[in-house]
Amino acid sequence: MNKVITAVVIILALLVGGYFGYQAHETKKEKELLEQRVAQEKADNERAAAEARQRSEAAAEAARLADVKAKQEAEANQREIARLRAEQAAAETARRNAEEQVRAAAVERERLTREKEQAIGEARRIAEQREREALAAEEARKATLEKLAAAEAARREAADREAARFAALQAQQELERQQAQATVAKARVEYESRAIYNTDYKRRSHYNLAIDMKNADADAPAGNK
């Protein structure tokens, strides 16, 4: 009976030892599996962390590049906006200058038009004045020619009258000269017939001269006395 109990005890001890050995083996196996799982999870976590870091770094780089690109695009946009604004300002300035030039040209055109109209009016006035002056000058010339013609006619008439008077005067003078010659000849005849004494020569000479002058006055025409 003791052998049976001992055998039972031994069997139970073997069973218990086997059970605990199995449990220990299973526990070890589970521990190893757990350690492997933990190592795997750690590796996975590390790999995931590395990938996450890579993704984060890639994302950061992408964000940096995107930020750089955005800044470059913003700067380019600012430059383009500045260029467009400068072009707009230049276009506005050019437009204002063009409008000012158009206004100045219009003012200049109006001024030139007024000056042209004034010049035309002045030229017309001067032409009309010169025409009036020419007509007046022509009338004055005609009047002067008429006066000259009248003066020439009067001069010719006066010259004719003077010539006629001079001819009549010459004829009268010739007649008087002939009469004077006749008188002188007559007086010489009378002188030659007179007796002249030497002692009374000077007194007789004066007496005879007086007689000759009286005879000449008596013989002269009435118009010459």
Residue 168 has pLDDT above 50, yes or no: yes
The predicted structure's pLDDT at residue 127: 82
Nearest partner of 196 among 207, 186, 185, judged by Cα: 207
> Cβ distance 216 to 183 under 8 Å?
yes
Q: How far apart are CA 123 and CA 116, in angstroms?
A: 10
pTM of the model: 0.33
The predicted structure's pLDDT at residue 224: 45
The predicted structure's pLDDT at residue 206: 52
What are the backbone angles phi and psi of residue 197, rounded to the nearest 5°? -95, 145
pLDDT mean over 205-217: 57
pLDDT, tens only, 87-96 = 888 888 888 8
pLDDT, tens only, 179-193 = 878 877 776 666 555
Q: How far apart are CA 214 and CA 220, in angstroms?
A: 10
pLDDT, tens only, 99-152 = 888 888 889 888 888 888 888 888 888 888 888 888 888 888 888 888 888 888
Q: How far apart are CA 46 and CA 168, in angstroms?
A: 171
Nearest partner of 217 among 206, 225, 205, judged by Cα: 225
